[in-house]
Chain A
Amino acid sequence: MSDVVERTLSALPGLLGQHDLGAGPGGGPGRFSATSRLGGLIRSITALSSKHEEEKLIQQEQTNLKATVSAPTTTLRLMKECMVRLIYCEMLGYESSFGYIHAIKLAQQGNLLEKRVGYLAVSLFLHENHELLLLLVNTVVKDLQSTNLVEVCMALTVVSQIFPREMIPAVLPLIEDKLQHSKEIIRRKAVQALYKFYLIAPNQVQHIHDKFRKALCDRDVGVMAASLHVYLQMIKKNASGYKDLTESFVTILKQVVGGKLPIDFNYHSVPAPWLQIQLLRILGLLGKDDPRTSELMYGVLDESLRRAEINHNITYAILFECVQTIYTICPKSDLLEKAAKCIGKFVLSPKINLKYLGLKALTYVIQQDPNLALQHQMTIIECLDHPDPIIKRETLELLYRITNGQNVTVIVEKMLDYLRQSKEEYTIINLTGKIAELAEKYAPDNGWFIQTMNAVFSVGGDVMHPDIPNNFLRLLAEGFDDEKEDEQLRLYAVQSYLSLLEEEDTFYPQKFLQVMSWVLGEYSYLTNDGDPEVTITRLHRLLKQTFVTSETKAWIMTAITKMSSRLSCSKTVDKLIQEFSTSLDTCIRQYAFELKHLCENKELMKKLLPLDASCDEIMVDASLSFLDGFVAEGLSCGAAPYKPHHQRQEEKLSQEKALNFEPYGLSFTSSMSSSGFTGRQSPAGLSLGSDMSGNSAEIGQKETNCLKLDGVRKLWGKEGYLPKKENKTGKEDKTQPVPLDSILIGHVVDPPLMQSEQQVVSLSEEEKEKQQLASTLFVGLGSNSTMSLMGRADTINQKLKKKSKISESQNSEEASSFQNIATLPFSPLPDTTPNNKENFQGNEHLGLRKVSLSPSEVLETSVSFDTSQSLTEAGLDEKLSNCRLSTSSLFADRNIEVFQPPQNVPDIVASKAPLSLCLPEELAGHPHSEIVELCSCDILTVYSCKVWTDDCSLLVLFVANNSTSPLKTVNLVFESTEHFKIFESLSYHFPVIEAQSIERCQKCVQLEKVCTEGILSGSISYHLDTDTHLEFSLTFSLSDFIRPMKITTEDFGRLWLSFSNDVKQNINMSPSQGSLSIALNALKQKLKLHIVEIIGNEGIAACQLLPSIPCLLHCRTHARTLALWFRSSCSALPDSLLYQCQKMMAES
Chain B
Amino acid sequence: MPHPRCGPEDTPEQAWPDFPEELPDLPPSPGREKPPWWDVPEAGPMNQMQFMLLFSRQGKLRLQKWYVPLSDKEKKKITRELVQTVLARKPKMCSFLEWRDLKIVYKRYASLYFCCAIEDQDNELITLEIIHRYVELLDKYFGSVCELDIIFNFEKAYFILDEFLLGGEVQETSKKNVLKAIEQADLLQEEAETPRSVLEEIGLT
Contact = CB atoms under 8 A, between A and B. Distances in A.
**Most chain A beta-carbon neighbours within 10 Å: one of B35, B44, B66:** B35
Interface in A1048-1071: 1049-1050, 1052-1059, 1061-1066
B110 A8 contact: yes
B43 A237 contact: yes
Nearest to A32: B152
A1074 B99 CA distance: 58
Interface string A37-64: 0110010000000000000000000000
B177 A88 contact: no
Interface in B77-130: 79, 90, 92-101, 108-112, 123-126, 128-129
Given A111-B192, A202-B43, A1123-B23, A161 B166 contact: yes
A313 B139 contact: no
B110 A2 contact: yes
Interface in A126-162: 127-129, 147-150, 153, 157, 160-161
Contacts of A1052: 15-16
A1064 B36 contact: no
Given A150-B188, A352-B92, A202 B42 contact: yes
Contacts of A1064: 23-24, 27
Contact of A674 (B4, B38, B70): B4
Interface stretch (A539-547, A665-673, A754-762): A665-673
A1011 interface: yes
Given A185-B204, A192-B167, A1135-B38, A4 B123 contact: no
Contacts, number: 367
B38 A201 contact: yes
B65 to A, nearest CB: 8
Contacts of A42: 151-152
A7 interface: yes
A1 B135 contact: yes
B37 A7 contact: no
Interface stretch (A90-98, A618-626, A721-729, A982-990): A90-98
B2 A1053 contact: no
A513 to B, nearest CB: 28
Given A161-B162, A1123-B19, 8 more contacts: A26-B145, A113-B189, A222-B172, A321-B126, A663-B11, A672-B2, A1053-B15, A1056-B16
A1138 B28 CA distance: 12
A87 B61 CA distance: 12
B12 A663 contact: yes
Contact of A353 (B69, B94, B159): B94
Nearest to A234: B43
Contact of B111 (A8, A277, A352, A1059): A8
Interface in A654-687: 659, 662-668, 672, 674, 677
B43 A198 contact: yes
Contacts of B24: 1064
**Most chain A beta-carbon neighbours within 10 Å: one of B66, B71, B110, B181:** B110
Contacts of B8: 663-664
Contacts of B200: 147-148
A12 interface: yes
B129 A690 contact: no
Interface of B: 1-12, 14-17, 19, 23-28, 32-38, 41-47, 61-67, 69-72, 76, 79, 90, 92-101, 108-112, 123-126, 128-129, 132-133, 135-136, 139, 141-149, 151-156, 158-159, 162-163, 166-167, 169-177, 181, 184-186, 188-189, 192, 196, 199-200, 203-204
Contact of B174 (A222, A388, A650): A222
B132 A1 contact: yes
**Most chain B beta-carbon neighbours within 10 Å: one of A5, A38, A1049:** A5
B12 A12 contact: no
- Per CB-CB distance, the 9 closest pairs between chain A and chain B, nearest first, are A664-B7, A1132-B35, A8-B146, A317-B125, A28-B142, A667-B4, A127-B69, A26-B143, A264-B174
Contacts of B76: 93
B38 A317 contact: no
**Most chain B beta-carbon neighbours within 10 Å: one of A38, A117, A274:** A274
Given A2-B110, A149-B203, A201-B41, A677 B1 contact: yes
A677 B3 contact: yes
Interface residues of A, number: 160
18 contacts: A9-B147, A42-B151, A111-B192, A127-B69, A150-B185, A157-B162, A229-B169, A233-B44, A265-B174, A274-B170, A277-B123, A320-B123, A353-B125, A356-B96, A424-B100, A1052-B15, A1053-B15, A1132-B36
B132 A1061 contact: no
A1123 B27 CA distance: 11
B2 A1063 contact: no
A427 B100 CA distance: 7
A26 B44 CA distance: 46
B141 A313 contact: no
Interface stretch (A244-252, A504-512, A911-919, A1109-1117): A1109-1117
Given A2-B110, A170-B25, A28 B141 contact: yes
Given A38-B152, A313-B125, A1114-B16, A666 B4 contact: yes
Contacts of B162: 120, 123, 157, 161
**Most chain A beta-carbon neighbours within 10 Å: one of B46, B66, B67, B125:** B125
A320 B92 CA distance: 22
A491 interface: no
A594 B118 CA distance: 55
A275 interface: yes
Contacts of B136: 1
Contacts of B35: 1010, 1131-1132, 1135-1136
Contact of A185 (B47, B128, B133, B181): B181
A1107 B91 CA distance: 65
Contacts of A920: none
Nearest to A1135: B35
A264 B111 contact: no
Contacts of A651: 5
Contacts of A1125: 19
A170 B28 CA distance: 14
Contact of A664 (B6, B33, B109, B175): B6
B110 A34 contact: no
B125 A647 contact: no
Contacts of B100: 424, 426
Contacts of A33: 152-153
B125 A320 contact: yes
B196 A111 contact: yes
A1064 B144 CA distance: 57
Contacts of A274: 126, 170, 173
Contacts of B46: 199, 233
B108 to A, nearest CB: 8
Contacts of B173: 222, 225, 265, 267, 272-275
B169 A195 contact: yes
A408 B104 CA distance: 30
A1055 B2 contact: yes
A30 interface: yes
A1131 B199 contact: no
Contacts of A391: 94
B148 A9 contact: yes
A29 B156 CA distance: 10
A2 B109 contact: yes
A317 B42 contact: no
A127 B70 contact: yes
A265 to B, nearest CB: 5
Contacts of A664: 4-8
A222 B180 CA distance: 14
A1 B4 CA distance: 73
B4 to A, nearest CB: 4
B25 to A, nearest CB: 6
A10 interface: yes
Given A9-B111, A120-B159, A663-B8, A203 B37 contact: yes
Contact of A5 (B66, B72, B112, B174): B112
